[in-house]
Structure 1
Amino acid sequence: MPFIEESDLLDLHKDIDKAQILNERLLDQVKYKNKEIKSYKIQKNIFAGITTFFVLGALALYSFSAGMRSNETSNTNNLLVSIDSLDVIKSRIDNLKLKNEELSNVKEFYLAKEFLEKEKIYSVQIQSFVDNNITLSSEALANTVFVKTNPFYTYSLGNFETIDEARSFRFQLIKMGFEDAFVASYQDGKRVKIEDPY
């Protein structure tokens, strides 16, 4: 069995911790963006009401001033201002729709991730220990599986959606010297079975 240097293991844990922190920040950003979307929807409704009021007011003013004034250029200028204002508001609404679509994609990603956590996953077991006095893993790490199966504590790397991905990762670990590595399936934090390696 190959030996992992403590410094390499610490670097691996630091990288995984950084990735988890990044995932938490992304989740916070999704929550923040959802709040922004709600705010944008309210703003959009307010803008729609103000725009409608503005357009009706502009039309009323235009009708009134058309009867009072004989100068056609001033009427044309008033109409152009109204059309420009409508274009600006329409542009803002289009931008809000685009942001809403982007946030929907991020939200769908996190919903899919939560769904996969409930489904069967595959991981590559590299070691088992009788005692739980090792510091190889923490439950806070996102890409490791640390399971107690009496009387052993098992340590697995990777969370894969398909068995082929796990087998490919196992092959890479074997090339690195982990000759006893094997693929196991897990569901709800428990090992279901040891999978066929090929």
Structure 2
Amino acid sequence: MPFIEESDLLELHKDIDKAQIINERLLDQIKYKNKELKKSKIQRNIFAGITTLFLIGGLAFTSFTAGISSSGGFDRNNTDLVVTSIDSLEAVRTRMDNLKQQNDELSLVKEFYLAKEFLQKEKIYSVQVKSFVDNNVTLASEALTNTLFVKTNPFYSYSLGNFETLKEAQSFRKQLVDIGFEDAFVASYKDGKRVQIEDPY
């Protein structure tokens, strides 16, 4: 069994403390984003309610004025009234389409954060392809949910793929070895930390 000097052990403890601080910051960011999502959802629902009320009120007003106009109450041309209501209806439809698009975008963001949170809680398997001493390598955005960039003292490891089963990860590792990543190996992760190195076959 290898011997670890006390100074190296102290450095490892410092690295663990730094990693915990980073994890806490990331959790705070996720909580903040979740609050923003909830706030956006409430605003979207309020705006949809106001738009619906506006649409119903506009239709009621249009039918009311059309009834008065047909009974001779107004000396106005009916075609002007119809053109005006169609234009406002198109504006409402355009606004509703924009709201639907914003809703879809917010749903994608929410799904991303839920997937990332799920991956941190469950045991997953990934194929590590490289390790670095420094954290100054920007291989991929952290927004990619199919990659892992994890601190495994004293190195930073870069892994590809998130698999539910060991067999899937082993199959993916074999494909990576076939294309030139000869040092690739399968590791299991839980709570954003490596649990162990798995059997490659």
TM-score relative to the length of structure 1: 0.58
Deviations 1:71-128 (A, max 9, x none): 6x7012212211221222123212211321232123212211211122223343867x
Cα pair distance change 1:104/1:35, threshold 3 Å: same
| Structure of higher RCO (CA pairs closer than 8 Å, 6+ residues apart) | 1
- In structure 2, the partner of 1:4 is none
- Asked if 1:97 corresponds to 2:100, the answer is yes
Cα pair distance change 1:191/1:125, threshold 3 Å: farther
Distance in 2 (alpha carbons) for counterparts of 1:125 and 1:79: 66
Contact kept, 8 Å, 2:127 with 2:172, in 1: the verdict is no
Contact kept, 8 Å, 1:62 with 1:75, in 2: the verdict is yes
Summarize the alignment of residues 20-99 of structure 1 with structure 2, pairs less than 5 Å apart.
35-68=39-72, 74-99=77-102
Q: Give me the identity figure in percent.
A: 34
Q: 2:67 is matched by which residue type in structure 1?
A: S
Q: 2:187 aligns with which of 184, 187, 190?
A: 184
Q: 1:115 is matched by which residue type in structure 2?
A: F
- Asked if 1:165 corresponds to 2:172, the answer is yes
Q: 1:116 aligns with which of 116, 119, 123?
A: 119
Q: 2:58 is matched by which residue type in structure 1?
A: F
Distance in 1 (alpha carbons) for counterparts of 2:135 and 2:188: 19
Distance in 2 (alpha carbons) for counterparts of 1:91 and 1:54: 16
TM-score relative to the length of structure 2: 0.57
Q: 1:146 is matched by which residue type in structure 2?
A: K
* Structure 2: stretches of 5+ with no match in the other structure: 1-28, 143-147, 164-168
Q: Report the RMSD for the aligned CA atoms in angstroms.
A: 4.0
Contact kept, 8 Å, 1:147 with 1:189, in 2: the verdict is no
Aligned length: 157
Distance in 2 (alpha carbons) for counterparts of 1:125 and 1:61: 72
* Structure 1: stretches of 5+ with no match in the other structure: 1-24, 128-133
Q: 1:146 aligns with which of 146, 151, 164?
A: 151
Distance in 1 (alpha carbons) for counterparts of 2:192 and 2:82: 67
Distance in 2 (alpha carbons) for counterparts of 1:110 and 1:144: 17
Q: 2:150 is matched by which residue type in structure 1?
A: V
